[in-house]
Amino acid sequence: MDKTFNAAEAEARIYQMWEEAGAFKAGANASRDETFCIMLPPPNVTGHLHVGHAFNHTIMDMLTRWKRMQGYDTLWQPGLDHAGIATQLMVEKDLAETQQPKRTELGREKFLEKVWEWKAAKGGTIEQQARRLGDSMDWSRSAFTMSGAESAPATEKPGNFHDAVLKVFVEMYNKGLIYRGKRLVNWDPHFETAISDLEVENIEVDGHMWHFKYPLAGGDTYEYVEKDEDGNVTLRETRDYISIATTRPETMLGDGAVAVHKDDERYAPIVGKLCEIPVGPKEQRRLIPIITDPYPDMNFGSGAVKITGAHDFNDYEVAKRGGIPMYNLMDTKGAMRSDGKPYAEEAAIAQAIANGEQEFDEAMIAAMNMVPEEYRGLDRFEARKRVVADITAEGNAVMTTKMLKNDEGEEVETTVPYVEDKKIMQPFGDRSKVVIEPMLTDQWFVDTAQIVGPALDAVKEGRTKIMPESGEKVYYHWLENIEPWCISRQLWWGHQIPVWYGPEMEIDDEGRRTFNFAEFKKICASTEVEARNDFEEYYGFKTVIIEGPEESREAWDQAFGNIALTSILRRRESEVGEFRDAIPIYRDPDVLDTWFSSGLWPFGTLGWPAEDEAMKYFPGDVLVTGQDILFFWVARMMMMSQAVLEQDPFHTVYLHQLVRDAKGEKMSKTKGNVIDPLDMIDAYGADALRFSNAQMAALGGVLKISEDRIKGYRNFGTKLWNAFSFAQHYEIAYPGDPVRPDATQTLNKWIIGETGKVRETVDAAMEAYRFNDAADALYAFTWGKVCDWYLEFSKPILQGDDAAAKAETEQALRWVLDQCLILLHPIMPFITEELWQLADSRKKMLVHADWPTYTAANLVDADADREMNWVIDLIDNVRSARAQVHVPAGAKVPLLVTGLDAKGQSAWDNNHVLIQRLARIESLSHVDDFPKGCVTIPMAGGTFGIPLADLIDVAEEIARLEKTMQKLSKELGGLRGRLNNPKFVASAPDEVVAEAKANLALRENEEAQLKAAIARLAEIG
RNA sequence: GGGUGAUUAGCUCAGUUGGUAGAGCGCUUCCUUUACACGGAAGAUGUCGGGAGUUCGAGCCUCUCAUCACCCA
């Protein structure tokens, strides 16, 4: 054997062996019908392995290997997520770097070809990296969320995930669970797409709060009164304006109202009146109403809030409640709109609306551009500056005084605009890093309110358990307040929404058909053919597919010429005669949110909607993922599985925290504290990293990865390795698959019992998802019991002449070491498999070895247990005493004993060889009294002593004994205090009282021995 | 502002129904003894964040204060 395990060489070789043997295939090693299935949270196809993956893969792999060894029909399902935005971004960057045409220049079809090319060439590195961790996934089943898409090239691995996505969309659409609507969504001006709430990061940044005056219409005035808490008037003045505070002045252009709280006495006189938005051309200043709403906080700012329904989520709610028009001010890039009619016209209409003179609807408002010409086309942040400057120049900024240096450098009181520096929470796109703009757009939504019920019930009724439990509260809180889920994205890479639009057809009383391009008819179908069939049936007319809505009118004109729509069909039939054209329809250009497809992961990967044998793995068992993804993904899988299959996708959700660095800080490239798991594997081997991961997997615990710790577990691996090297050194045969002997030797009985205990502990810990307990128990057993004691104890027998004892011990030792390998395999698969293969022949690879079922009850021999613990105790005490009185480590000393009882005597007789060897004892003599200068070692069943004659420093020995006494007294005090307390004896459970009594007796015995020893020494002293 | 969690040895953290505190690393001393120096032996260190309460008994339960972290506004 090599001196240490060569992880770098062995891991690749072993992994290859497993993979070639199909060791991880679904159902491999199955000896029973029960299935065990874990779905890997699919990493982005662009992804790389980071410490978070390394952590949760370790958990999943431990569970999978454990269940596979237990004979379950096991599947750990791998795969990749197409990751809409991330991938599209990556490919666009790649195009730019390689001087290829841009996405928009390529067009949709060509661009998608590029994405697929990119995926084939560079995607999925993470799957190779995962192999280095030892992940036992069934790679042959690796799934992809875009498999089977129309755009997929023939070279791609076949799959039907796309079918699943479309089928679910169509079904949910037909059930009314998916709708299209205009709502305020988070808009990413960089990618020009809607994104979900969860893709928004709120970051606190330095911002400003501006205070402006909105003059009352017609120069009206009112008495503005401020009072303190006691109702005393602190300010009274006549105002002709209402003061508004805002962090986003550019959105003033879209204000629809000013809101105040109904209880706010300051503004009571002017509620219902109109005020003027103090920006834009003087001639067309818009007047907006002052309304009441519960939203404004009377104590914040001036207490009055401008309402811009199209650009703020709170305002949106207020505007909806109050029927306030929501004017959209920006284009898809976040610049001020430059389309629509001249401002003067738009402002006139808006005024009519505000005055209540004109009806309005959503579509009409959406088309209106309330941006004055001077701001049109400006970037939103540039527009902000200009708006602030213009308002201030006109004198509508609220002013305050401040000490500023004048031209001569003197501090003088100066009147300046009132602008507060303020920390504001600003939303950023988690991918694009640009400021997210709330935008009023047409999007597709899942009506989550309708499907959330069963997902909530699953947890409430205990069908699905969230670990740690605190996750359940968070889950309820989120699901009970769930918002509609915006599922459309204005991207190209993804599942294109399977909805086609054509002009709405109306048939009048005379049977004349008219077509309406303002109201499109939607048909949802899983294929284009089906959609066209449906449309053609509807129109009774041929259709033609065109690109998008902007072309629809054009296409129509091209097809039919400039003919009045109302009579198109009649004229066509009678006048056009030869008929070559068709009604244009187009497919929705948007794609689905990536999370819509990954929500189907639990069954989409198993062949659904096709009938597939693999569906036996649904529902799966455990979902292991980061806490941050509970809403993104877990809740959605639960909703979608119920909505589609009416089943819960798994019974347990194991949530873990973000993996941080050793100091508990988030890892980030800018901080430079990123730990690459592959570097750790290179340096210490995958097993060490995995053990470290298992060990820190305390439920709900903070995950801090530390290189020192990983190194420590590498050392643990070496310890295990050396235990085998020990066996080899003693030339213990290793035929393979050792059988547990019927032990007669105490030490063998004892270690077999300890093995029984640890197996139970490990299984209990694994079942409770307490992986740290499993790892700690195995560490303590392997190192602390097997290596530190058992191997040491076995030496005299292995070197001795008792052939029977030797044979039994060799067999027991092989068996125990085998058990270490089996029990450690789920955590440390490589080194254990390597050691397993040292045997001459094995029935199976370790990865498929049978997980043991023996119990402590079967294997523990109470007498052997007691005896060995006594032996260990004695050795410990002798060693400790020797070290403290500075007996040279190598020196062999005689040992004395007084009052040794029968049990003690028999324990000594059975094990004296071990004791003498490990405690370096020359001989044992029974004496009535200890001689002068003797170190005392109190033990159950007798007092031991080491005579040191002149060697002993009496004072030092007294000090040592007194120190022990002190500790003992503390304990005795506690025990006596409790037992003397009648209430304790009366109210504590009997076994607790009994235990305390027994403990007290033991301690009192020890105390007596110590007292005697101290007295003896005092005499000499 | 709302929510969740944390505060235990020098450091990083365990501590499962309340029974009197543990691990790893680090540190000190000794040991290259025939599995292992990625080792062995011995050792030190804690008013379990502060305060109050419930209880015979609190690291654990309740309240309160402080500090920190994360999530959501």
> Are A710 and A689 a contacting pair, CB within 8 Å?
yes
Tell me the percentage of chain A whose pLDDT exceeds 70: 92
Cα A888 to Cα A867: distance, rounded to the nearest angstrom: 28
Helix (H) or strand (E) holding A686: helix A686-695
| d(CA A886, C1' B20) / Å | 33
Mean pLDDT of A71-88: 90
Chain segment A103-116, per-residue pLDDT in tens: 888 888 888 998 89
pLDDT value at A747 more than 70:
yes
pLDDT value at A579 more than 50:
no
| d(CA A970, C1' B54) / Å | 26
| d(CA A770, C1' B60) / Å | 18
pLDDT value at A811 more than 90:
yes
CA of A723: nearest nucleotide by C1' is: B35
CA of A890: nearest nucleotide by C1' is: B33
Chain segment A403-443, per-residue pLDDT in tens: 777 777 788 887 877 777 777 778 888 777 888 888 888 88
Cα A178 to Cα A950: distance, rounded to the nearest angstrom: 93
| d(CA A956, C1' B44) / Å | 17
Cα A277 to Cα A286: distance, rounded to the nearest angstrom: 6
Q: What is the pLDDT of residue A663?
A: 58
Stretch among A132-136, A171-175, A1017-1021 having the lowest mean pLDDT: A1017-1021
Q: What is the pairing mode between strands A304-307 and A143-144?
A: unpaired
Confidence tier at A382 by pLDDT (50, 70, 90) = confident
Helix (H) or strand (E) holding A399: strand A399-405
Q: Which residues contact A979 (CB under 8 A, 6 or more apart)?
A: A985, A993, A996, A997, A1000
Chain segment A272-328, per-residue pLDDT in tens: 888 888 888 877 788 888 888 877 777 777 778 888 888 888 888 888 787 778 888
Strand B bases, protein C-beta under 7 A = 3-6, 11-16, 19-20, 23-26, 29-31, 33-44, 55-57, 70-73
Stretch among A140-154, A426-440, A455-469, A649-663 having the lowest mean pLDDT: A649-663
| d(CA A2, C1' B42) / Å | 31
Chain segment A873-905, per-residue pLDDT in tens: 899 888 888 887 777 777 788 899 988 889 889
| d(CA A770, C1' B11) / Å | 24
pLDDT mean across residues, chain A: 83
pLDDT value at A917 more than 50:
yes
Which residue lies nearest B39, CA-to-C1' measured?
Answer: A719
Q: What is the pLDDT of residue A562?
A: 45
Q: What is the pLDDT of residue A574?
A: 44
| d(CA A610, C1' B17) / Å | 48
CA of A717: nearest nucleotide by C1' is: B38
Confidence tier at A814 by pLDDT (50, 70, 90) = very high
Cα A169 to Cα A172: distance, rounded to the nearest angstrom: 5
> Are A81 and A598 a contacting pair, CB within 8 Å?
yes
pLDDT value at A960 more than 90:
no
Confidence tier at A581 by pLDDT (50, 70, 90) = low
Mean pLDDT of A855-862: 88
Give Cα separations from A860 to A513, A703, A753, A854, A873 (angstroms). 89, 36, 4, 10, 19
pLDDT value at A507 more than 80:
no
Chain segment A528-574, per-residue pLDDT in tens: 889 888 888 888 777 777 776 655 556 555 555 544 444 444 444 44
Q: What is the pairing mode between strands A893-898 and A942-947?
A: antiparallel
List A428's β-bridge partners, or say none: A201, A435
Q: What is the pLDDT of residue A551?
A: 56
Q: What is the pLDDT of residue A566?
A: 40
Cα A870 to Cα A867: distance, rounded to the nearest angstrom: 5
Chain segment A712-744, per-residue pLDDT in tens: 889 999 999 999 999 999 989 888 888 999 999
| d(CA A454, C1' B56) / Å | 48
The residue among A213, A212, A207 whose CA lies nearest residue A247 is A207
CA of A5: nearest nucleotide by C1' is: B38
Q: What is the pLDDT of residue A671?
A: 61
CA of A888: nearest nucleotide by C1' is: B30
Which residue lies nearest B22, CA-to-C1' measured?
Answer: A776
ipTM score of complex: 0.92
Tell me the percentage of chain A whose pLDDT exceeds 90: 20
Helix (H, G, I), strand (E, B) or coil at A257: strand
Which residue lies nearest B12, CA-to-C1' measured?
Answer: A662
Q: What is the pLDDT of residue A837?
A: 92
